[in-house]
């Protein structure tokens, strides 16, 4: 086992109380791994004003030298599909993608399920968190907080997921999906100590937001965001552990994200 894998295994053991054998974690015998990322393809959903994901085939087949070879070029906006919002996305002087400490991207997961309350323009309220805490206790410090709205069941249908199939600036006014209320974002900054926040919708602000206040509040506190997170229905409300590693774009405001969870058993 190489050093980086060993360090990660030790972190998992310490945080989730799994088997002291690091190999058991990575072999899956100490628990299970859950992929929380959507694949990037022509189906990937992007903001109506963003450039979509494009995969351009460079070569696929048998080369002149007789061996098989495949290579592609790809292009895409930073913000689309399962992706990271770096704090600088809405907060001047805050962390860029490459500046976010690893400690904020790897940690214990808290999943708050609000899917039973959801309407297309629902804003997650402080009371939703208080109800969760009344059963599970206070959100632990340094947690990665994930909101499950159930919206992921609509992926990859653009009309169902975004509220519109249209593209371009005019389409933004027709966006409808749940998000985090600004008052809730401010409460989390003032009253709790989370390392990162994620949601299974296109944005941490709800679709009809025009000022993106939850972005401004959370990112102003250097709390990164994960958007379009997949498979949150496969995570327990507590006890899981998240690893969320974006493409390390120097100076980036965001990046494609591979986010996974480990669930000890």
Residue 109, exposed/middle/buried by CB under 10 A (0-12, 13-18, 19+)?
buried
pLDDT of residue 8: 56
Residue 10 predicted with pLDDT over 80: no
Domain boundaries, the chain: 1-30, 36-50+78-264
pLDDT of residue 9: 58
pLDDT 10s digits, 197-249: 999 999 999 999 999 999 999 999 999 999 999 999 999 999 999 999 999 99
pLDDT of residue 12: 61
pLDDT of residue 30: 83
Mean pLDDT, the chain, rounded, equals 93
Is 82 within 8 Å of 257 (Cβ atoms)? yes
Three-class HEC string of 230-264: CCHHHCCCCCEEEEEEECCCCCCCEEEEEEEEEEE
pLDDT of residue 26: 72
pLDDT of residue 171: 98
Confidence band for 89, pLDDT divided at 50, 70 and 90: very high
pLDDT 10s digits, 28-41: 678 999 999 999 99
What's the average model confidence in pLDDT over 104-121? 96
For residue 156, whether the previous peptide bond is cis, meaning omega lies within 30 degrees of 0, is yes
Q: What CATH number labels 36-50+78-264?
A: 3.50.30.50
Confidence band for 77, pLDDT divided at 50, 70 and 90: very high
Share of residues in the chain with pLDDT > 90 (%): 88
Residue 5 predicted with pLDDT over 50: no
pLDDT 10s digits, 122-158: 999 999 999 999 999 999 999 999 999 999 999 999 9
Q: Considering the entire predicted model, what is its pTM?
A: 0.92
pLDDT of residue 2: 43
Helix H segments across the chain?
Answer: 3-16, 22-27, 126-136, 158-162, 182-191, 213-220
């Amino acid at each position: 086992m190489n050093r980086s894998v060993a360090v990660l295994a030790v972190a998992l053991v310490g945080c989730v109380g799994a088997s002291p054998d690091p190999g058991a974690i990575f072999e899956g015998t100490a628990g299970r791994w859950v992929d929380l990322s959507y694949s990037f393809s022509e189906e990937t959903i992007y903001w109506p004003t963003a450039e979509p994901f494009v995969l351009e085939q460079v070569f696929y087949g048998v080369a002149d030298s007789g061996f098989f070879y495949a290579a592609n070029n790809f292009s895409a906006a930073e913000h689309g599909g399962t992706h990271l919002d770096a704090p600088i996305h809405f907060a001047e002087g805050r962390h860029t993608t490459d500046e976010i400490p690893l400690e904020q991207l790897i940690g214990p997961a808290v999943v708050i399920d609000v899917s039973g309350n959801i309407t297309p323009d629902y804003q997650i309220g402080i009371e939703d968190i208080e109800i969760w805490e009344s059963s599970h206790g206070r959100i632990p410090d340094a947690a990665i907080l994930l909101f499950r709205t159930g919206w992921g069941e609509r992926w990859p249908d653009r009309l169902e997921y975004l509220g519109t199939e249209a593209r371009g600036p005019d389409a933004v006014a027709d966006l409808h999906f749940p998000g985090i209320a600004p008052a809730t974002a401010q409460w989390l900054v003032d009253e709790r100590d989370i390392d990162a926040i994620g949601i299974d919708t296109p944005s941490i602000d709800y679709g009809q937001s025009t000022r993106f206040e939850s972005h401004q509040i959370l990112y102003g506190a250097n709390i990164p965001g994960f958007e379009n997170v997949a498979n949150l229905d496969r995570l327990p409300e507590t006890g899981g552990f998240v690893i969320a590693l974006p493409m390390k774009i120097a100076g980036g405001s965001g990046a494609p994200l591979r986010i996974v969870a480990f669930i000890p058993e």
